[in-house]
Every structure is written in C-alpha cells, then in structure tokens.
A = this chain, B = another copy of it.
C-alpha cells in the first residue's frame, strides 16, 4: 500500500473502491463514538476508552492527510508546510483537542468542535453538490429572501416590544411569571410567527392575543413568500437544464 493509494482513499478520489467507502463510514462511526459522552447525562467509565480510541483515529487521520499533502497539490514539497494552516486541517486539529477532557471532564463542551467534522460527512453522501444548488438558488434570490427575512425580524422585534409592554409580569391565571426579559418576548414572537407555538408563554391580555392572531396570520405569508420564490427559481433552473 503506497502513499498514492492512501491519498486516494482519504480524498474520496476513487469512489468505486470499496476501501474508500469503508474509510468514510468508519470515520462517521468514529465521530459518533467521539460524541457519545455528549449524549448521556452521567459520566461512565467506558467513555474514557471511546475517547481514547476516537482521538487515536483522529490523530492517525490527521497524520495521514498531512503525510500525503504533497500528492494533493501536484507533488510540490512545500504543501507539507502549508497544510496545517488550511481550513479543513484546522477543523481536524480542533477535533483532536477535546481529548484534554480525559484529564478533566469539565471540558466536555469542547467536543462540539467535532461537529465541524460532519461537513466531511456531507461530502461523503454527495450532498455538498445539492447544497451548492440550494445555495445558488438562495444566492440568485438573495435580495428577495433577505428582504423577507429582515421584514420578519423587524416584525418579530415590533411584536415582542408590544407584548413585553402590554402583558402583565405575572400570569393572573397560573400565578407563573410570563416574560422574564425582553429576550423571552423575542423568543415568544419568533415561535408565534413561525407557527411553532410551544405554549410555554402565552398572551393573557386581549391586546396581546390580538397581536398573536395577527402574527399567526402574517406567519402564513412569511411561509408562503419564500416558498413561492424558491419554487419559481427552482422551476427556472429545471427548465434551463432541459434546454
């Protein structure tokens, strides 16, 4: 097994090769294993071993990528020097760092940096090309979509401001506090406009309820406008492809 073959496997250049697919799935599994401690409340002994194993895999992966850096940039030896400063290399390095939690479990949240590795997973499933299609649609309609977004955010700000000032601080029916801060009001306004409607905060005054009703009706327009814009543009792309 020479260096060229390793480079091919790591870089997903020979997709028909079963080793390439196996390596991809193995890395996905390792990422999931490395995130295990984040999915449980307590800290179990076994996590020490999973952390050990996954970090080891990440280090080997990092070294393999570094060791074949020249093959990916036309055999220029200088690539070894620049590789550690490339975007993906920094992400890979960040996914190794959380291993310090082996020393002190308090650094648990460091592991979130490993989520960045999931961008590699997207490439693996061939999704990045579709994401690029979505991005190009969003880019072509950026003016319209950003206008809808700004209007929606402004609407959220205004309704939050109104609700925060007309609603009592204590819900008269349950005795529970309603909005504790302006951020709570913003949270409520967003949850209403997007028609999620948890119900953990509800307007109790008639003015507040009237604003809610307007918000929920306006929310339909907020759903309808981007849907329409994206549909129209996608249809356009579909037709261009055909011609």
Contacts and interface: CB of A to CB of B under 8 A. Distances in A.
A209 B186 CA distance: 10
Contact of A223 (B151, B158, B220): B220
Contacts of A191: 197, 212-213, 216
A88 to B, nearest CB: 18
A205 B161 CA distance: 20
B234 A232 contact: yes
A144 B125 CA distance: 12
Contacts of A144: 130, 133
A61 interface: no
A29 interface: no
Copy number in the complex reads: 4
Interface stretch (A19-27, A48-56, A108-116): A108-116
Contact of A112 (B162, B217, B231, B236): B162
A233 B118 CA distance: 30
B234 A216 contact: no
Contact of A196 (B125, B154, B182, B219): B219
Contact of A187 (B195, B196, B212): B212
Interface in A79-136: 108-109, 112, 115, 118, 121-122, 125-127, 130-131, 133-134
A147 B161 contact: no
Interface stretch (A4-12, A32-40, A66-74): A32-40
B213 A190 contact: yes
Given A41-B169, A224-B230, A216 B194 contact: yes
Interface of A: 35, 38-41, 108-109, 112, 115, 118, 121-122, 125-127, 130-131, 133-134, 143-144, 147-148, 150-152, 154, 158, 161-162, 164-165, 169, 173, 176-177, 181-184, 186-187, 190-192, 194-200, 202, 206, 209-210, 212-213, 216-217, 219-236, 238
Q: Give the top 8 A-B pairs by smallest Cβ distance, nearest first.
A: A130-B147, A228-B231, A196-B197, A199-B199, A194-B216, A198-B199, A39-B182, A200-B202
20 contacts: A38-B165, A39-B161, A39-B164, A108-B165, A112-B162, A121-B154, A122-B150, A130-B147, A152-B217, A190-B217, A191-B197, A195-B195, A196-B196, A198-B202, A199-B199, A199-B200, A220-B226, A223-B224, A229-B234, A231-B232
